[in-house]
Structure 1
């Protein structure tokens, strides 16, 4: 699982700061105003992407926590359902013994045993209803957990794409390659698209 942390001040960004300073000095002597425009554009782009990435990372961590919470709730419901089925089995055993006692006892004692049989049957139905309800709740929590984990993976993918985009921004500033700048925008767009899919639970 991803840690759900977007390193705004990670290695890419230190490199980006260095590249920005280097590029600014170089542009002052060789490229004039045009080169400075590229540096400012990439710096602004990186600030926006870092902010969006931090939001994506937070959402990724939140969905991961929700997934674990739902999975824990599902496990609790399964344990409770298992306990109810064990209780149901115990009532079934008592009902069987009451039926045998009824069949073997004198006629004047049979009504009392029949009353026990009827009571156990009623209790069994109530216990079975509770057990099935708990099983349904456990299944629902499992489904919620799976959905949250899928969304978590989407946020993690989006965050990773934005981190790669920041790294490309640093390289673009150092090399002054226009295709790297386009690549930076492309990867960031991909990250934004994946983030949109995460927001839409797709």
Structure 2
């Protein structure tokens, strides 16, 4: 008995449906993981930004204290020049204020440097959050394509599904490694193209074996 004819680019049988269903489940799991990591990165960015603001406030308070000490030092310098006063006493106060100002200045600079560092970490976390978000969206698109593949039974759609899924996984990998790759960078696009070529080659080989 001859096999029933199938439309070009399509396959039948429960085995095909089962494999696509498993693929959808795997993509859904990966997409959920990416979404969770993206939320975590966003929370980290908010925490880092808040910490940076607190450090900046501490630096501002330290600089205000520094200015107050400068004013007192200037008054002491002025008093030391007045006739009939204990110049030695005010000279000691001038020196004391100078030492205190130097300590306060170093503290203020330390707060400012810490604020800049927290801001940098916040920007990096936001960049990772954008990477995770793009990776998660790519997985959702791949799931939709896989569902269409399952319903239409068009195996050529698997090529597009594999390309989009690989694109998202590559972005997720760079987010995990804290790389600077964006959605328009050559690496994820190249990985998607390579996956498309590989999937298409496997699909054509399968069709050749079935014929």
Q: With structure 1 as the length reference, what TM-score do the two structures score? A: 0.81
Is 2:179 the counterpart of 1:177?
no
Note the C-alpha offset of 1:105: 3.2
Note the C-alpha offset of 1:30: 8.7
C-alpha distance in structure 1 between counterparts of 2:159 and 2:15, whole Å: 15
Q: Deviations over 1:161-193 (max 9, x none)?
A: 000001111111222222212111111111111
Note the C-alpha offset of 1:160: 0.3
Aligned pair partner of 2:98 in 121, 139, 143: 121
Q: Which residue does 1:41 correspond to in 2?
A: 19
CA contact (8 A) 2:12 2:153 kept: no
Aligned pair partner of 1:168 in 134, 145, 159: 145
Q: Deviations over 1:77-113 (max 9, x none)?
A: 001100110110011011001100101133x610111
Q: Which residue does 2:55 correspond to in 1?
A: 77
Note the C-alpha offset of 1:35: 2.7
Aligned pair partner of 1:191 in 135, 150, 168: 168
Q: Structure 1 stretches (4+) deviating beyond 3 angstroms?
A: none
Note the C-alpha offset of 1:136: 0.7
Aligned pair partner of 1:64 in 26, 33, 42: 42
Q: Which residue does 1:147 correspond to in 2?
A: 124
Per mean C-alpha deviation after superposition, the further-off stretch among 81-90 and 174-183 is 174-183
Q: Deviations over 1:113-137 (max 9, x none)?
A: 1111111111100100100000010
Aligned pair partner of 1:134 in 111, 117, 141: 111
How many residues in Structure 1 have an aligned counterpart in Structure 2? Answer: 172
Question: Larger % of helix: which?
Answer: 1
CA contact (8 A) 2:63 2:108 kept: yes
Q: Which residue does 1:54 correspond to in 2?
A: 32
CA RMSD between the two structures: 1.7
- Partner-residue secondary structure (3-state), 2:178: coil
C-alpha distance in structure 2 between counterparts of 1:74 and 1:68, whole Å: 10
Structure 2 alignment gaps of length 5 or more: 180-211
Higher RCO (CA-CA < 8 Å; seq separation 6+): 1
C-alpha distance in structure 2 between counterparts of 1:68 and 1:182, whole Å: 39
CA contact (8 A) 2:24 2:147 kept: no
